[in-house]
Amino acid sequence: MIFSSKAEYGVRFMVELGRQTPSAPTSLKAIADAEGLPLAYLEQVVARLRKADLVHSARGAHGGYWLARDPAEITMFDVVGALEGTIAPMECFVHDEMERVVCSHLGAESARGCATKLLWTRVQGGIVNSLQNTTLADLVQFSQRQEAGALDVPTAPAAA
């Protein structure tokens, strides 16, 4: 599964915002410059994060953005979901009215159903689990360690 640049830029924006002093708004231009991101595209990405109530903004000379919640309360599932929508490993996975992802091949012409549903369901579950168990605070701390020169990359937490 390949996420779009919206997810990449949005996560990078959130990490940089999480690194800032929470008492003062940070300008979008400052974050775009710090991360080397295109300002015009970042504006579109941030609009989605604002709509999802992950960030707040203020206009004016001293305006900018700040996190809507503590970084430990913001999961990457929240962020990526706000930017990408449904997380599905294959195009044939669609939302149903119960807000869960299902294989669109079920009930199709073949009475056998989808032979690969188990695989794609597990792939989707792994991705969702990783996103739900990674907070913005985790990424901010990791980026600060990287900046300090530590090169250790933590492994994924063990499944419960």
pLDDT at 94 over 70: no
Q: What are phi and psi of 18, to 5 degrees?
A: -65, -25
List, for residues 95-152, the tens digit of each pLDDT value: 555 455 566 655 555 545 677 778 888 888 899 999 999 999 999 999 988 887 755 5
More confident call, 160 vs 94: 94
pLDDT at 77 over 80: yes
pLDDT at 73 over 90: yes
Q: What are phi and psi of 119, to 5 degrees?
A: -60, -50
**Tell me, what's the pLDDT at 92?**
66
**Tell me, what's the pLDDT at 112?**
56
List, for residues 28-41, the tens digit of each pLDDT value: 999 999 999 999 99
Burial label, 53 (beta-carbon count in 10 A; 0-12, 13-18, 19+): exposed
**Tell me, what's the pLDDT at 119?**
84
More confident call, 85 vs 102: 85
* CA 86 – CA 24 distance, rounded (Å): 33
List, for residues 38-72, the tens digit of each pLDDT value: 999 999 999 999 999 999 999 988 889 999 999 99
Fold (topology level) of 5-147: Arc Repressor Mutant, subunit A (1.10.10)
| Region for 53 from its dihedrals, namely left if φ exceeds 0, alpha if ψ lies in -120 to 50, beta otherwise | left
Burial label, 3 (beta-carbon count in 10 A; 0-12, 13-18, 19+): middle
